[in-house]
Structure 1
Amino acid sequence: METKKESILFTPANIGPVTLRNRTIRSAAFEGMCPGNSPSQQLKDYHLSVAEGGVGMTTLAYASVTRNGLSFPRQLWMRPEIVPALRDITDAIHATGAKASIQLGHCGNMSHKSTAGETPISASGRFNIYSPTPVRKMREDEIIAMSRSFGDAVRLARDSGMDCVEIHAGHGYLISQFLSPYTNHRRDRWGGSLDNRMRFMRMCLEEVMKAAGSDMGVVVKTNMRDGFKGGMEIDDALTVAREIERAGVHAIVLSGGFVSKAPMYVMRGEMPIKALTHY
Structure 2
Amino acid sequence: MNNLSQSKEVPDVFSPVKLGPITLPNRIIKAATSEGRSPEGKVTQALIDFHRGFIEGGTGMTTLAYCAISPEGFAAPGEILMIRENLLGLKKFTQAMHDAGGLVSAQLGHAGPVAHKNITGVRPIAPSRFLNPTSFQFCREIKKEEISKLIQQFADSAEVAADAGFDAIELHFGHLYIVSAFFSPWINKRKDEYGGSIENRTRFAKEILLAVKERIKDRVAIIVKISMDDGIKGSIWLDESTETVKILDETGTVDAFELTMGSSVYNQMYLFRGDTDIDGMAATQKGIFKLGVKLFGKKMLGEYPYEDLYMLKSARQFQPIVKNAQLILLGGINDYQHIKKAMESGFSFVAMGRALLREPDLINKLKDESQTEGRCIHCNKCMFTVYTTTNCVFTKEYATSSKSVL
TM-score normalised by L of structure 1: 0.93
Which residue does 1:166 correspond to in 2? 170
Residue of structure 1 equivalent to 2:213: 209
Which of the numbers 257, 261, 279 marks the counterpart of 2:262? 257
**1:1-279 pair list within 5 angstroms:** 8-247=12-251, 248-269=253-274, 271=276
C-alpha contact (below 8 Å) 1:110/1:130 kept by paired residues: no
Unaligned runs of 5+ in 2: 1-9, 281-292, 298-406
* Larger RCO: 1 or 2 (CA < 8 Å, sep 6+): 2
207-216 vs 96-105, which deviates more?
Answer: 207-216
2:133/2:266 contact within 8 Å kept: no
Q: Give a deviation string over 1:35-68, Cα, whole Å, max 9, x none.
A: 1111111001111121122221111000111111
Q: Provide the C-alpha distance between the structure 2 equivalents of 1:235 and 1:134, rounded to a whole number of angstroms.
A: 29
| Residues in 1 aligned to 2:53 and 2:278: alpha-carbon distance in whole angstroms | 35
What percentage of residue pairs aligned between the two structures are identical? 35
TM-score relative to the length of structure 2: 0.65
Cα deviation for residue 274 of structure 1 reads 9.4
Q: CA contact under 8 A between 2:73 and 2:109: conserved in structure 1?
A: yes
How far did 1:131 drift?
A: 2.1
| Deviation for aligned residue 1:27 | 1.1
1:192-243 residue CA offsets vs partner (Å, 9 max, x unmatched)? 1111111111111111212231121000011111212111111101011112
Per the alignment, residue 340 of structure 2 pairs with: none
CA distance in 1, matches of 2:226, 2:194: 18
Cα pair 1:212 1:218 within 8 Å, conserved: no
Q: Once the 2 structures are TM-superposed, how far is the Cα of residue 129 of structure 1 from its aligned partner?
A: 2.8
Q: Which amino acid aligns with 1:265?
A: Y
- Contact kept in structure 2, 1:110 and 1:120, CA below 8 Å: yes
- Identify if the C-alpha distance between structure 1 residues 273 and 96 changes in structure 2 by more than 3 Å, giving closer, same or farther: closer
Q: Secondary structure at the match of 1:93?
A: helix
Q: Which runs of 4+ in 1 moved over 3 A?
A: 269-279
* Separation of aligned partners in 2, 1:194 and 1:270: 34
Q: CA deviation at 1:117?
A: 2.5
Equivalents in 1 of 2:150, 2:169: separation in Å?
17
Q: Can you give the 5+ residue segments of structure 1 that lack an aligned partner in the other structure?
A: 1-5
